[in-house]
């Protein structure tokens, strides 16, 4: 049976909750994130702010320069989590195969579900209407035969819209899709592909599997499948945790390696407290240190490890810092857990793995 996958994603979720709770914000550019004076970043922003070029993960100071009237609000995760519980309850009214990706975003496998005469399109419309009526915010949805295409489709008619890709439409839809829309293709990989003359999935299809593997390592297999619209991943309600990390952006740049070594100690204490709360703790596969330098370039150094205690963190930090040897604005430490699923079967990259191909 052809699968019916819905990807639901609330529109500018944090900002939407703020506008819902304070109608005076409606129509004004709004961002949720850290303060500019503490080197905060934008977590999310509404569409009025996006019209000025403001984007998620942008430094708040830069966002304010682009949009001087921007209203910057601190995040209130208690309210966001309360709304998330309502949204997830709505999703689970339709199927028990719900895979949350964040507080407001999830995949739903509605294959064989009888509601709405078995129509995934009608179910998505009903879900979106219920989110608006019961939670007070809008959501967008994508409907497709697999997770990759459903996620792409949900972004097609944002905000407050939905788009369906039927099985017979997959090939024609994917052939013109920009390669930057593929899982795992971030800015670095997209630039590498562009240098090879690969801009669309149609361009990518002209490359043989062996050639893609030679260029991109195991990520080449994912590229070969995804450019043909193939994604065999199932919706996993109990998706295992892939990593655990903590990071800090410093008000004043850390000037050298010695300052970084001193700063990483409290960071590791925080990480260890979080790690100790995992019950049970998954098996550790690798440990990593993440650095963002004062020119906003970033690097990650990692090593094989079985426990955080077994890691020579100062040495790992020194390896990462030596790549630029310049002041540091952000430090992060963490571990990656052993994964049961092989990446070669299309597992979605983690948050810090958007340019997986660049590391292979």
Provide the annotated active-site residues: 105
Length of the chain: 360
- 3-state SS assignment for residue 86: helix
Burial zone of 77 (CB within 10 Å; 0-12 exposed, 13-18 middle, 19+ buried): exposed
Q: For residue 9, say whether it is annotated as part of any ligand binding site.
A: yes
Closest to 189 measured CA to CA, from 16, 360, 60: 360
Looking at residue 41, the DSSP 8-state letter turns out to be: B
169-174 contacts at long range (C-beta below 8 A, 24 or more positions apart) = 170/144, 170/145, 170/229, 171/228, 171/229, 173/149, 173/229, 174/149, 174/201, 174/227, 174/228, 174/229
Could you count the other beta carbons within 10 Å of the beta carbon of residue 65?
A: 12
Give DSSP secondary structure letters for 142-202.
EEESSHHHHHHHHTTT-SS-EEE--GGGHHHHHHTSBGGGSTT--HHHHHHHHHTT--BHH
- Containing H/E element for 129? helix 120-134
Sign of the alpha-carbon dihedral angle for 282, 288, 291, 297: negative
Q: Which residues are registered as beta bridge partners of 44?
A: 32
Question: Residue 209 is encoded by which pair of tokens?
Answer: 């599997």
Question: Residue 200 is encoded by which pair of tokens?
Answer: 């669309």
Question: Residue 28 is encoded by which pair of tokens?
Answer: 């004004």
- 3-state SS assignment for residue 76: coil
Question: Residue 348 is encoded by which pair of tokens?
Answer: 């979605």
Known binding positions for Mg(2+) = 9, 104
């Amino acid at each position: 049976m052809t699968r019916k996958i819905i990807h639901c994603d609330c529109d500018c979720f944090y900002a939407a909750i703020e506008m819902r709770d304070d109608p005076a914000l409606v129509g004004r550019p709004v961002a949720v994130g850290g303060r500019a004076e503490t080197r905060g970043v934008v977590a999310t922003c509404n569409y009025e702010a996006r019209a000025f070029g403001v984007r998620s993960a942008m430094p708040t100071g830069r966002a304010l320069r682009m949009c001087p009237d921007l209203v910057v609000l601190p995040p209130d995760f208690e309210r966001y989590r309360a709304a998330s519980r309502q949204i997830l309850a709505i999703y689970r009214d339709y199927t028990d195969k719900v895979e949350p990706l964040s507080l407001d975003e999830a995949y739903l496998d509605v294959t064989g579900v009888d509601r709405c005469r078995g129509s995934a399109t009608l179910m998505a419309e009903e879900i979106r209407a219920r989110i608006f009526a019961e939670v007070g915010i809008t959501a967008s949805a994508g409907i497709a035969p697999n997770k990759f295409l459903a996620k792409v489709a949900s972004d097609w008619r944002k905000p407050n819209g939905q788009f369906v890709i039927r099985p017979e439409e997959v090939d024609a839809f994917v052939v013109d899709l920009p390669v930057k829309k593929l899982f795992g293709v971030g800015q670095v990989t997209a630039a590498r592909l562009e240098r090879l003359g690969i801009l669309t999935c149609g361009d990518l299809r002209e490359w043989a599997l062996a050639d893609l593997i030679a260029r991109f390592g195991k990520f080449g297999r994912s590229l070969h499948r995804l450019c043909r619209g193939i994604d065999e991943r199932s919706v996993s309600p109990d998706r295992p945790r892939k990593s655990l990390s903590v990071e800090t952006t410093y008000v004043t740049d850390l000037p050298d390696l010695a300052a970084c070594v001193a700063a990483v100690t409290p960071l590791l204490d925080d990480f260890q407290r979080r790690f100790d709360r995992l019950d049970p703790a998954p098996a550790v596969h690798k440990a990593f240190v993440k650095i963002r330098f004062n020119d906003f370039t970033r690097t990650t150094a990692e090593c094989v490890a079985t426990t955080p205690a077994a890691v020579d963190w100062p040495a790992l930090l020194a390896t990462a810092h030596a790549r630029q040897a310049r002041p540091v604005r952000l430090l992060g430490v963490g571990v990656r857990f052993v994964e049961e699923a092989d990446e070669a079967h299309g597992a979605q990259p983690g948050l810090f793995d958007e340019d997986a191909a660049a590391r292979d």
